[in-house]
Chains A and B, each alone.
Chain A
Amino acid sequence: MTNMRTISFDGVIVGGGGAGMRAALQLAQSGYKTAVISKVFPTRSHTVSAQGGITCAIASDDPNDDWRWHMYDTVKGSDYIGDQDAIEYMCSVGPEAVFELEHMGLPFSRTEQGRIYQRPFGGQSKNYGEGGQAARTCAAADRTGHALLHTLYQGNMKNNTVFFNEWYATDLVKNQDGAVVGVIAICMETGETVYVKSKATVFATGGAGRIYASTTNAHINTGDGIGMALRAGYPVQDIEMWQFHPTGIYGAGVLVTEGCRGEGGYLVNKDGERFMERYAPNAKDLAGRDVVARSMVLEILEGRGCGPEADHVYLKLDHLGEEVLHSRLPGICELSETFAHANPVNEPVPVVPTCHYMMGGIPTNVHGQALTVDAGGNDHIIPGLYACGEVACVSVHGANRLGGNSLLDLVVFGRASGLHIEQSLRAGIDVRDASESDIEQAMARLDKLNGSKGGENVAALRKELQNVMQNHFGVFRNEKFMQEGIRKLSDLRGRIENAALDDKSMAYNTARIEALELHNLFEVAEATAITAEERKESRGAHARDDYQDRDDENWLCHSMYYPGNKSVGKRGVNFEPQTVDTFQPKTRTY
């Protein structure tokens, strides 16, 4: 134990995606010793797959656009359990954060006036829902995430951020006062394990879409931050809220952007009917993602699906014309040809709702500080721990995220986390060092895995877990099915904790990493399952056959999952924005 190396930083960011690199940039610019630990080279993080854009009221498409309208849309989109102070912060600070990205070099598409091009996305309106469809999503063709991620990496390079690329964080280190004082991390190339000590630790580890069998998410989206937080005994919030994106390519799961519908594409069933006109007469194909995904599943369940198995629908794009498709949606044309063998210029793209985004996560305040809640319902800041991006639940997305709001979330709150850490470091952070037993505790899981014998195959267990989640916690849920799913998960826990690691070699041992990732996937899946069963209503992405209505009397609140006794509690939603009136819950229609 004592021979383990310690590396010290002022701030350590776990995760090299958009949120992590935006936080790192802020901190590196302030001159503090900053490190990013990323299990992949940063430009390979999942932000790279974001396509359609970053939603923000920069008033390019409409000079009268107003961040308050964006706020209204986001509150409504969240089905009213998004925190209004956080949404207010995101929407009002957003333009500054987007202009910073442009100044850093992000190659946005442009309007004739030379300004940033904005396209319509789902759930967007002008004038608080009264002024028709807005076009508020700032785009770099359909490769906005790629452009944003590369720009942020370049910005960090310019500011000398220290990168630990292809290092994998396994667990949090807590000192005897309960403060987070860094992480244990493995250098994948050499297999060396190190204690990375830090006064502030930021989780920017992204989502966990790989808990489902069919997902738009990269292989690396394994919920590492959630797993680490739950193992450290911290709660997670609204973890039952999973977004199913309407347009995953049938069979492959690969995403095609909502921007396809923003640019004028629409969904049709086997009769060629534009069915969204029936479900959302005003917004049609640009209703909230939860609404569109459910409508698609209903079409399929009622026998109007396409293809020999009648198990998907079509996204029609050919009427947009070759020029628009190639200038605005070039990446989609590539993906569709590669994964669906369909050229959108002539043929529709077969699509099906596919797991896409984790709305829940580690609860934080607007400064990114991670929170826990005591028995009396009071928030407490976890000293030393921050979270931002998909792993966090600040909460701006509530029960359903609007398209284009994830990229805004990660730059705004990555930046806010960096700003707050900078201030705290200036004021002075005085923490006790981790003792040997604190570090031993953080090493326990890795030590156990490294000393293990026997056990089941990781890939087979992962597949079994993904199938349980897919079959029991999908777009539509009910008690009987979920309880059955929870039983299957409890059988899986022991088997996954004792999964096999036959190869104990040091150099670039991906089997070790995949075993550790599987533990994290399981933690996320179990928290999702138990909380989903507990929330006895339908709200946003959480749709139940047995409780079909929203229940504001009992469930206009966040769920809190406590890992110690696997119980679910409630936490109040913030209805107190600082500069605007509260948006009161209304019936949500599009």
Chain B
Amino acid sequence: MLQVSIYRYNPETDEKPYMQDFQLDTAGKDIMVLDVLEQLKAQDTTIAFRRSCREGVCGSDGLNMNGKNGLACITPLSATVKKNKLVIRPLPGLPVVRDLVVDMGLFYAQYEKVQPFLQNDSPAPAIERLQSPEEREKLDGLYECILCACCSSSCPSFWWNPDRFIGPAGLLQSYRFLADSRDTATEQRLANLDDPFSVFRCHGIQNCVSVCPKGLNPTRAIGHIRNMLLTRAT
């Protein structure tokens, strides 16, 4: 029997959050953490969590499992369970709405702040804008972000300044457009980031890199932005 401990909080009935223990017979199978949650919810329908694609591409079920952020749907028990124990908490650093559901408002606000859409002043051609395979390759490792918030909610700098530090996810997307050969708003994008907090609160702790379920590297992207800001200043 797997011992599962889940963070519970219903704002209507609970004065404060608590951990609730469950036991689950997994029949020895190496199922995903999301399967565990689904099976427990079939018994106790009050457990609240987000889920959609169940294959690691929609980013709904970012959770803290045995102390590490990840996506429940692609985290097999074998990758997280120690001593037969699984502790599931909401992503840290974000306000809890209920149980495992966090308020992502601040996280999305930082994403919007970087103007994550292509900007190009020239009139669009009748066909696509051309881009060489080499130029396009610069977007690999950037565009794949699924906005799960595993990175930003594991970042101490984001915990301290969630309103002023853009955070790893937002900055990764910022660089995705800075690196795009089709985008012409580089100067304005950099000007918007040129303050002590937006970028420079990153201290290279690299929690973001170690938890990203898509294997992306926000720290490297932030380094590129820093270099662009420093070059621009000289």
Contact = CB atoms under 8 A, between A and B. Distances in A.
Interface stretch (B52-60, B157-165, B192-200, B204-212): B52-60
Interface in A104-134: 104-105, 107-116
B117 interface: yes
A46 B53 contact: yes
A48 B127 contact: no
Interface string B135-147: 1100100011011
Contacts of B59: 43-44
Given A49-B55, A112-B133, A158-B117, A44 B60 contact: yes
B112 to A, nearest CB: 6
Interface string B114-147: 0111101000101111111101100100011011
Nearest to A510: B48
A218 interface: yes
A507 B11 contact: yes
B52 A46 contact: yes
Given A110-B131, A111-B133, A503-B45, A254 B117 contact: no
B117 A220 contact: no
Interface string A38-69: 00110111101100000000100000000000
B25 interface: no
Shortest Cβ-Cβ A-B pairs, 10 listed: A105-B118, A114-B130, A459-B42, A154-B117, A511-B45, A102-B128, A44-B58, A508-B98, A103-B124, A218-B53
Interface bin, chain B:
35 or more
17 contacts: A44-B53, A99-B126, A103-B129, A105-B118, A107-B139, A110-B135, A143-B57, A146-B57, A339-B55, A502-B45, A503-B46, A505-B10, A505-B13, A507-B10, A508-B98, A510-B48, A514-B45
Nearest to A105: B118
Interface in A495-515: 500, 502-503, 505-511, 514
A110 B132 contact: yes
Given A43-B58, A157-B116, A108 B182 contact: no
Contacts of B76: 338
A484 interface: no
B16 to A, nearest CB: 15
A157 B108 CA distance: 11
Given A103-B129, A112-B133, A154-B118, 14 more contacts: A41-B108, A41-B147, A45-B52, A99-B127, A103-B120, A107-B180, A110-B131, A110-B135, A115-B130, A147-B143, A158-B117, A219-B53, A335-B55, A511-B45
A104 B108 CA distance: 20
Most buried by B among A104, A189, A338, A514: A338
B3 to A, nearest CB: 22
B160 to A, nearest CB: 25
Contacts of A511: 45-46
A457 interface: yes
Contact of B52 (A44, A157, A334): A44
A109 B76 CA distance: 31
Contacts of B126: 99
A260 to B, nearest CB: 16
Given A157-B116, A460-B42, A507-B11, A103 B128 contact: yes
A458 B104 contact: no
Contacts of B129: 102-103
A43 B146 contact: yes
A105 B57 contact: no
A82 interface: no
Contacts of A338: 55-56, 74, 76
Interface residues of A, number: 60
B232 interface: no
Contacts of B147: 41, 43
Contacts of A107: 136, 139, 143, 180
B144 to A, nearest CB: 6
Contact of B127 (A58, A335, A505, A506): A58
B57 A49 contact: yes
B188 to A, nearest CB: 14
B15 interface: no
Contacts of B57: 48-49, 143, 146, 331
Contacts of A147: 143
A48 B55 CA distance: 11
Interface of B: 10-13, 38, 41-42, 45-46, 48-60, 74, 76, 97-99, 101, 103-104, 108, 112, 115-118, 120, 124, 126-133, 135-136, 139, 143-144, 146-147, 177, 180, 182-183
Interface of A: 40-41, 43-46, 48-49, 58, 98-99, 102-105, 107-116, 140, 143, 146-147, 150, 154-155, 157-158, 189, 218-220, 254-255, 331, 334-335, 338-339, 457-460, 500, 502-503, 505-511, 514
B63 to A, nearest CB: 15
B46 A508 contact: no
A513 B64 CA distance: 24
Contacts, number: 151
Contacts of A508: 48, 97-99, 101
Contacts of B115: 158
Contacts of B131: 110, 114
Given A107-B139, A219-B52, A334-B56, A157 B12 contact: no
Contacts of A500: 45
A15 to B, nearest CB: 13
Given A154-B117, A157-B117, A219 B51 contact: yes
Contacts of B183: 105
Contacts of B128: 58, 98-99, 102-103, 108, 115-116
A104 B177 CA distance: 12
B133 A218 contact: no
A105 B130 contact: no
A146 B81 CA distance: 30
Nearest to A458: B45
Contacts of A48: 53, 57-58, 146
Contacts of B104: 41
Nearest to A101: B128
A216 to B, nearest CB: 9
Most buried by B among A189, A219, A331: A219
Contacts of A189: 97, 103
A556 to B, nearest CB: 37
B102 to A, nearest CB: 10
A502 to B, nearest CB: 6
A154 B11 CA distance: 33
Contact of B117 (A105, A110, A140, A460): A105
Contacts of B51: 219
Given A218-B53, A338-B74, A506 B48 contact: no
B84 to A, nearest CB: 22
A431 B50 CA distance: 38
A110 B136 contact: yes
B27 to A, nearest CB: 14
Contact of B98 (A331, A457, A507): A507
A459 B55 CA distance: 20
B98 A113 contact: no
A189 B97 CA distance: 7
A510 B10 contact: no
A249 to B, nearest CB: 9
Given A108-B128, A114-B132, A510 B52 contact: no
B54 A218 contact: yes
